[in-house]
Amino acid sequence: MNLSFAGCGFLGIYHVGVAVCFKKYAPHLLLGKISGASFGALSACCLLCDLPIGEITSDLLRVVGEARAGSLGPFSPSFNIQNVLFEGMQRYLPHDVHKIVSGKLHISLTRVYDGKNIIVSEFPTREDLLQAVLASCFVPVFSGMLPPRFHGIRYMDGGFSDNLPVLDENTITVSPFCGESDICPRDLSSQLFHINLANTSIELSKQNMNRFARILFPPKPEVLSNMCKQGFDDALRFLQRNNLISCTRCLAVQSTFQLQDMLDDTTYEYDPDCEECKTHRQDALVDDLPDTVMTIFQNAIDTANHGLVNWVMRQRGVRYLTFLALPYTVPIDIMYATFTKFVTCTPKMSKSLWKLSLNLIQQLHCFVYTSHDRSGDAARIYYKLTGETKKEAHEGYQLER
């Protein structure tokens, strides 16, 4: 089976919960191909690289904190989501990540000049992979004004053309929006109307409207914790409904690959009434997110709520003052962002200025020597003309006498 993760912006914390469930109860589903758009592509890449879920959760909460800290939230000039994603990938992805995910990771991109969807799955170098993920996460205006290039062509968020790429009929689709995806929230509503937005089924409901508002505007850590838990529960419900939770021995028999937990070469016969499988499924019924992930969320919640400054900022009067002060805080934020960008680009600018200065000196040197040669020629011509004029004047004087 293959997996497909929908693009969803800051709702990607839902994918973290799904990933935790798959790694614990259905690791065999992570051995196939995984596709995605936007944050879904980033989630798929982290799953294929088997990155620690705890570190990814902590980094995602850090990004959310930076996005909420600006004067205009994630639209603040000082917050650059592309730089944040690039720094995170540089920090966590292994050096041979392009070799690990090539042929397995399928990234959905939208070509800028014609809006056509492109699926890329081969990455010759690590830089190619990073550029592809950044291009798939680029939302115009929110991420910047100029889309990034991939192999010389500009691309933007794959969610504009194919937000949930399906590789074949055996693809399990994952979406944080209530709809007809295999793994998605099941809201208690009587809505019968669905829309298909960029290959993603979305139910027209109040809950989905709230989720849409949080794509680019990250909610509080409490809400993110609930979304992650919902992703875990929805994935667990899907696995139970399709009888995909099995013990290690039965997984080795049902699949064609040998899991690492199997240390002996003994062959087993598939037993539909395996007692170990039944115990595993019973444990899953009452299971929850791992303590490591819950601890990370709890620390983020405590950090956001505790302290005198946080208490003052939660008061209604302070919120009004913050809103009224936007005409003054936004220019300061712009100046800070401009200064930070200038400092960041100084090493590159210094090299360019040095080359430009060297080129200017060479041009000036050539101009001086050329002017010197031309001045010598001009002097000779002047002396020659002056001598001829004097000679003509002397001959005229002799004729008059």
Query: Which residues are the active-site residues?
Result: 38, 157
- Separation of alpha carbons 41 and 23, rounded Å: 17
Alpha helices in 216-325 (DSSP H): 221-241, 248-254, 275-285, 291-305, 308-313, 316-324
CB 136 within 8 A of CB 108: yes
Query: What is the biggest distance separating any 2 CA atoms in the chain, rounded to whole angstroms?
Result: 141
Q: Among residues 336, 327, 326, which one has the least CA distance to residue 71?
A: 326
Q: Among residues 364, 381, 6, 399, which one has the least CA distance to residue 177?
A: 6
Helix (H) or strand (E) holding 196: strand 194-197
Counting beta carbons within 10 angstroms of the beta carbon of residue 103, is it exposed (0 to 12), middle (13 to 18) or buried (19 or more)? Answer: exposed
- Separation of alpha carbons 287 and 293, rounded Å: 13
CB 64 within 8 A of CB 10: yes
Query: What does DSSP assign to residue 256?
Result: S
Q: Which residues pair with 173 in a beta bridge?
A: 4
Q: What is the DSSP string of 286-302?
A: T--S-HHHHHHHHHHHH
CA 191 centroid distance within chain:
33
- Separation of alpha carbons 93 and 126, rounded Å: 9
Q: Extract the runs of DSSP E, i.e. beta strands, from 99-161.
A: 105-111, 117-120, 149-150, 153-157
